[in-house]
Amino acid sequence: MSIDLGLASHYAPLINGEFRSHTDETFDAVDASTGERLATITRSGKADIDAAVAAAKAAFPAWAATSREERSRLLLTVADWVEANVERLIGIDAHDIGRTLFELPQDYVQAIGQYRYFAAAVMTHDGWSMSYPGGWGIAKREPYGVVGQIIPWNVPAIMTAFKLAPALAAGNTVVLKPDENASLSTLELARQLAEVFPPGVVNVVPGYGEEAGAALTAHPDVAKLAFTGSPQVGRIVAHAGAERLVPVSLELGGKSPNIVFPDIDDIDAVVDNTTFASTFCNGQSCLAGTRLFVHDDLYPTFIEKLVKAYENIRIGSPLDPETRLGGLVSAEQGERVLGYIEAGKAEADLLTGGKRVTVPGNEHGYFIQPTIFETKNSARIAQEEIFGPVLSLIRWDDFDTMIEQANDVRYGLASGVYTSNLRNAMRTADRLRAGQVWVNKYVNLVDGQPFGGYKESGIGREVGRETLDMYTQLKSIMFNEQVPSPFYV
């Protein structure tokens, strides 16, 4: 399938409405599957970050004073542009990160929805008022100022929208750093952002985490930090925020439990959804259901069907519409996943998969067979986030023990439950220590429904109205009817 990507040969950072840089250093954006160079990108560092933050700081007063109606209108303009260019943007991501043409459209449905949701939500995002004897009080919501945002490589369209839409709707200005492994679709969007927003309101600065990212998190004029990525880097970002006493929101990793009760109505449908839950995004998702708890009563039948479903997944070029599992984002990530598979072979039973596959014409890419290990919850592969198509299968028969094991990881981002019994659904949802509990449909992201994690899966919530609270602070203003009688005179 041929798509005209319309890529530039080189991408510079967007700073103060212009594409310019303070360095000539670059890095290559390469096709994750073929290794072909797609473009060069400026390797921004401290000088570009300083310029971007200065531009955002200068633009903040006017942007904060811009009416909600106007901010809403501009976000809707962005949504319309993304929708009009969606086929091209999907093609860029398929080349850049190895995701399939089959699943990428859903990323853009989510992204477009976020721009439109926050364009609407901000219209009713208010503080509150109260009265007391002799006066009135107002709690007014105000933006923080310059927000520094850092996003990962696995779902760039979604991550960009999750960060930009609420921050801009709330009246903040932004410096966004995309991941060096997935900058192209975000930088293509930056071309439009430069046309839509006043100079300095949105700045997009590509580069490496230890250079551009570190400079952004440490900058004294950044009033809030928002990060999505690994817990290891999340700690670094949180520490940088603590050093300067600025608020930090984090969306981090996961090792999510997916629980199958014996009372399910349609075993084939559940097998299909649990397969999707653990392999979508080529397994490179923080919310993937990578620990599958299956009840004893249907275990043999379920596992037979699950192994067959995994073995039927079509691995191939991300550009083939029939492909259901593409390649991983980089050789580094591929070797990391293969390392976990080798570790799993020493502590668990390999039921299927476990090997790298060569896809003709895509020999550069790391295509990993969807892999199932039958294991215990205490195993390393069941405790650590692998970020690849690797599933830990765990058998259960006692509810309390299963819940204890489901919660016995350091993460708490997402979870799934399959049951036709309302009591099972509700008592499981109540006891799971996770920010999301999806009953009978794994990955059920809906605009307006808050998304975020417990424990080491993060701090704060995205996607919903609470996100606007996260990007604003409250100012209390008290009005007295008259000056009180003097105390000292």
> In this predicted structure, what is the pLDDT of residue 404?
98
Catalytic annotation on 281? no
> In this predicted structure, what is the pLDDT of residue 427?
98
Q: What is the CA radius of gyration of the chain?
A: 24
> In this predicted structure, what is the pLDDT of residue 2?
62
| 319 and 173 in a common domain | no
CB atoms within 10 A of CB 73: 12
Catalytic annotation on 322? no
Tens-place pLDDT, residues 469-487: 999 999 999 999 889 888 8
Q: What would the mean pLDDT of 418-442 be, rounded to a whole number?
A: 98
Residue range(s) defining the domain that contains residue 222: 10-252+457-475
Q: How far is CA 19 from CA 95, 192, 399, in A?
A: 23, 12, 57
Answer yes or no: are the C-beta atoms of 164 and 171 closer than 8 Å: no
| 298 and 185 in a common domain | no
| 263 and 216 in a common domain | no
| 184 and 161 in a common domain | yes
167: domain CATH number is: 3.40.605.10
Q: What would the mean pLDDT of 261-272 be, rounded to a whole number?
A: 97
Q: Is 300 within the bounds of a domain?
A: yes
| 280 and 314 in a common domain | yes
| 126 and 171 in a common domain | yes
DSSP annotation of 213: I
**Rounded to the nearest 10 degrees, how much is the dihedral formed by the CA atoms of 156, 366, 271, 433?**
-50
Percent of the chain with pLDDT strictly greater than 70? 99
Answer yes or no: are the C-beta atoms of 179 and 153 closer than 8 Å: yes
| 263 and 354 in a common domain | yes
Give residues with Cβ within 8 angstroms of 382, minimum separation 6: 255, 291, 375, 376, 392, 394, 409
Main-chain phi, psi angles of 292, to 5 degrees: -105, 115
> In this predicted structure, what is the pLDDT of residue 486?
85
Catalytic residue among 180, 286, 385, 462: 286
| 268 and 239 in a common domain | no
Residue whose entry in the numeric block shows the structure tokens 């520490």? 239
248 alpha-carbon distance from chain centroid: 16
Tens-place pLDDT, residues 340-391: 999 999 999 999 999 999 999 999 999 999 999 999 999 999 999 999 999 9
| 280 and 420 in a common domain | yes
Tens-place pLDDT, residues 66-78: 999 999 999 999 9
Q: What would the mean pLDDT of 267-277 be, rounded to a whole number?
A: 98
| pTM of the predicted structure, to 2 decimals | 0.95
Give residues with Cβ within 8 angstroms of 190, minimum separation 6: 14, 19, 202, 204
| 164 and 312 in a common domain | no
Q: Is 482 within the bounds of a domain?
A: no
> In this predicted structure, what is the pLDDT of residue 267?
98
Catalytic residue among 251, 385, 456, 462: 251
Q: Is 486 within the bounds of a domain?
A: no
Residue 36, classed as helix, strand or coil, is coil
Q: How far is CA 426 from CA 295, 417, 430, 432, 439, in A?
A: 18, 10, 6, 10, 9
The two beta strands, 390-396 and 291-295, are: parallel
Domain count of the chain?
Answer: 2
pLDDT at 49 over 80: yes
On average, the pLDDT of the chain sits at: 96
- Please report how many Cα atoms fall inside a 13 Å half-sphere around the Cα of residue 153, on the Cβ side: 26
Sheet strands (E) in 355-389 = 356-357, 367-368, 371-374
pLDDT at 43 over 80: yes
| 327 and 296 in a common domain | yes
| 423 and 325 in a common domain | yes
